């Protein structure tokens, strides 16, 4: 729904609430009209159920409000003496319409100073769990989100099995588009493997479920995305049911906030002109200089003296961690990713005869590479030049460059576009130029030949940006912990320093102080 439609829906909800509770407001010593005034009625209701006013804010936070509505329905019933398990079940199962029964039929009286303590141990546990979920959901949605590195596209900077904390507030937290979803999970509920949100993911679906989506809204951040920042974002062209299955039974069209989360390096920001030459990125004609913690990796063909390389030896000796294998009967190995540092050592291995870079020639077209148009002979190693759109900036639109910007104009900015001969029509009008409504970015992996990134799908709009990885709190290589990576920062210069020991010391000091304080109070 649009914001106007949501506003009308909100007013309808206020009328429904007022009609179902105005007599209860009167019994609680309030005025009937107070049940109908938007927002104010919620503040008054918090006083009636003897809960803090700031619960009103929680009623307007997507996902969180699904829990809070149920809590308020139950608390309203209890404020008028309805405390049984049946009352609780009816309040929840009727989606709050149990209040209509209390308002018009039941003979109830307001209990002004009722006890807020749960009547049983199970009630106390339920209350604690609910508010733990509420608090965690708020933190997860608007402040910090945990994230696990799923692939080796940023290997050497971020490793498969790194567990990150991703800051939502650096670039500004997004208000969820999806209003009905399970809290603290992304697109799938663990264990049962079912979709975690209410949405019909067929193309151009008119289902009522899709009307529950909020328009894009973002809280202002305090930092802009800078070139070479590592960024977590939603894959803009995602139509996969599972990111590990590239051949689903059909395309799955998801809300922005439920598209697959990826992490890449932003090598080009809005306003840059980007080009890839022999696998290296050039920005505005100059070779992009990566931070010292970044390590580019390329694939190579390796001719050995024998037909065997030991994976564990290569990992321990040369830090070659990505896959490799024989590709033909010529006893040639294909190594999917080797860094420059590893290459300098590996070429001196006595089992190596020759190493040849796997670099595609200029003009050799790869149909899987953006913009997927036969007029652009680009590949993973030879790409561009390409202008990255900037908010408020206009570019000339022609038949020739339309393949580069059509998806941004239509899919990400909500315009209609058609071509009539040599004329381009945007929203039904002939257009020779277009002014972009948001910033776009170019996200790539440091693992140049083993990364599915912007070279496959194109620009990443700011609306799809999730946040900035700031901290590695744990790292696991599949069989054992990488202790040296625990509690290290993602960005910075020089070798990352683990803060695990200082953290453990602080935890021990806190518990020691708590024990000492408790003993002093007991004396």
Q: Are 164 and 471 in contact (CB under 8 A)?
A: yes
Ramachandran region, residue 314 (left: φ > 0; alpha: ψ -120 to 50; beta: rest)? alpha
Provide the CB-side half-sphere exposure for 72 (13 A, CA): 29
Q: Give CA–CA dist 361/85, Å, rounded.
A: 72
Residue 452: Cβ within 10 Å count: 16
List, in order, residues 6 or more apart from 286 with CB less than 8 Å away.
Answer: none
Q: Are 145 and 86 in contact (CB under 8 A)?
A: no
Encoded tokens for 328: 């033909």
- Residue 376, SS3? coil
User: In Å, what is the CA distance from 485 to each residue of 9, 185, 320, 495?
Assistant: 49, 25, 18, 11
Q: Give CA–CA dist 231/454, Å, rounded.
A: 13
Q: What is the helix (H) or strand (E) element at residue 174, kind and residue range?
A: none
Taking the alpha carbons at both ends of the chain, their separation in whole angstroms is 62
Q: Are strands 230-234 and 465-475 parallel, antiparallel or unpaired?
A: antiparallel
Q: Which residue has the tokens 């007022």?
A: 18
- Residue of 55, 49, 40, 52 whose CA lies nearest to 73: 49
Q: Give CA–CA dist 275/381, Å, rounded.
A: 10
Encoded tokens for 154: 């940023």
Encoded tokens for 362: 């200029």
Out of 151, 153, 196, 475, the active site residue is: 153
Residue 522: Cβ within 10 Å count: 6
Out of 30, 168, 258, 264, the active site residue is: 264
Tell me if residue 264 is catalytic.
yes
- Residue of 342, 492, 464 whose CA lies nearest to 407: 464
Q: Are 153 and 447 in contact (CB under 8 A)?
A: yes
Extended beta strands in 361-411, E state: 383-387, 394-396
Report phi then psi at 495, rounded to 5.
Answer: -65, 135
Tell me if residue 156 is catalytic.
no
Peptide bond between residue 385 and the one before it cis (omega within 30 degrees of 0)? yes
Provide the annotated active-site residues.
153, 264
């Amino acid at each position: 729904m649009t914001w106007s439609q949501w506003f009308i829906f909100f007013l309808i909800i206020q009328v429904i609430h007022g009609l179902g509770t105005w007599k209860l407001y009167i019994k609680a010593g309030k005025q009937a009209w107070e049940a109908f005034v938007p927002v104010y009625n919620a503040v008054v209701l918090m006083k009636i159920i003897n809960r803090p006013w700031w619960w009103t804010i929680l009623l307007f936070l997507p996902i969180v409000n699904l829990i809070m509505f149920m809590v308020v329905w139950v608390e309203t019933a209890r404020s008028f003496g309805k405390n049984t398990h049946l009352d609780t079940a009816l309040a929840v199962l009727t989606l709050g319409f149990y209040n209509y029964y209390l308002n018009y039929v039941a003979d109830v009286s307001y209990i002004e100073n009722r006890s807020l303590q749960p009547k049983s141990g199970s009630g106390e546990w339920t209350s604690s769990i609910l508010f733990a979920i509420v608090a965690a959901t708020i933190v997860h949605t608007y402040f910090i989100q945990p994230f696990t590195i799923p692939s080796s596209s940023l290997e050497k900077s971020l490793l498969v099995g790194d567990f990150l904390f991703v800051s939502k507030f650096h670039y500004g937290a997004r208000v969820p588009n999806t209003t009905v979803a399970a809290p603290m999970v992304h697109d799938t509920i663990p264990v049962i493997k079912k979709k975690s949100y209410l949405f019909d993911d067929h193309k151009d679906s008119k289902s009522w479920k899709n009307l529950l989506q909020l328009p894009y809204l973002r809280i202002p951040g305090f930092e802009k995305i800078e070139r070479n920042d590592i960024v977590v974002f939603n894959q803009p062209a995602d139509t996969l049911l599972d990111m590990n299955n590239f051949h689903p039974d059909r395309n799955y069209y998801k809300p922005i906030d439920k598209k697959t989360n990826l992490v890449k390096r932003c090598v080009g920001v809005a306003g840059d002109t980007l080009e890839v030459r022999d696998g290296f990125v050039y920005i505005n004609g100059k070779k992009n200089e990566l931070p010292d913690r970044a390590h580019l990796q390329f694939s190579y063909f390796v001719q050995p003296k024998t037909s065997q390389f030991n994976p564990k030896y290569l990992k321990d000796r040369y830090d070659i961690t990505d896959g490799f294998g024989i590709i033909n009967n010529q006893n040639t190995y294909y190594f999917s990713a080797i860094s420059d540092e590893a290459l300098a050592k590996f070429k001196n291995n006595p089992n190596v005869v020759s190493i040849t870079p796997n670099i595609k020639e200029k003009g050799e077209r790869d149909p899987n590479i953006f913009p997927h148009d036969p007029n652009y002979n680009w590949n993973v190693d030879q790409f561009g030049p390409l202008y990255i759109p900037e908010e408020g900036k206009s570019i000339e639109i022609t038949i020739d460059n339309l393949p580069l910007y059509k998806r941004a104009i239509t899919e990400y900015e909500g315009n209609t576009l058609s071509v009539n001969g040599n004329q381009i029509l945007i929203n039904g009008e002939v257009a020779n130029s277009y002014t972009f409504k948001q910033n776009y970015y170019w996200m790539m992996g440091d693992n140049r030949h083993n990364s599915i990134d912007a070279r496959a799908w194109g620009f990443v709009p700011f609306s799809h940006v999730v946040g900035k990885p700031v901290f590695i709190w744990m790292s696991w290589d599949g069989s054992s912990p990488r202790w040296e990576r625990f509690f290290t920062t993602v960005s910075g210069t020089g070798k990352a320093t683990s803060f695990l020991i200082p953290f453990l010391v602080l935890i021990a000091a806190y518990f020691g102080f708590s024990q000492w304080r408790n003993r002093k109070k007991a004396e």
